[in-house]
Amino acid sequence: MPFEGFDEISSTIIGYLTAAGWKQTTRSKESEVPEFVSNNGRMRTSIFQHISDRSLMLTLVDIESGDYLRFEVRYEDSVELLLGILAAWHQHVTIENFGIMINEIAKQVPEVLSEPIDGDVDTPWEKIVPEA
């Protein structure tokens, strides 16, 4: 069951990212759950809105190597700040500068968690502490 306010958040995400040039996935259009992709030639960025809470999964894939990083962004009431950062960065994010973008996000939202690099399912996701 979706969290209270899910429809409003979904509408905000869909409107904002569509206007910023992101592509909504076919699955998203059919399910009405926000899922978007942006590809700037160096990095593919995707987001997927969780149904159960005010958070989304952010995945960054280096196109050349196929390596990826995944983050859970718990934005609570900061969805528009998050979307503004994603819209500003999606055409410019690279493997060399993604950390700056993640730091900006971590400064604006309550919590950002990073998936363990080793992929061990028993290893907890690590909280990102923003730098000053």
pLDDT in tens, 53-66: 999 999 999 999 99
What pLDDT was estimated at residue 116? 86
The pair phi, psi for residue 71, each rounded to 5°, is -130, 140
Average pLDDT in the 9-36 region?
96
> Rounded mean pLDDT of 121-130?
89
Q: What is the pTM of this model?
A: 0.93
- pLDDT tens sequence across 84-124: 999 999 999 999 999 999 999 999 999 999 998 766 677 88
In whole numbers, what is the pLDDT of the chain averaged over residues?
A: 95
Q: Residue 31 class from Cβ within 10 Å (0-12 exposed, 13-18 middle, 19+ buried)?
A: exposed
Percent over 70 (pLDDT), the chain: 98
**Cβ-based neighbours of 125, under 8 Å, separated by 6 or more:** 72, 113, 114, 115, 116
Residue 1: count of CB within 10 angstroms of its CB = 6
Phi, psi dihedrals of residue 27, rounded to the nearest 5°: -60, -40
**pLDDT value of position 46:** 98
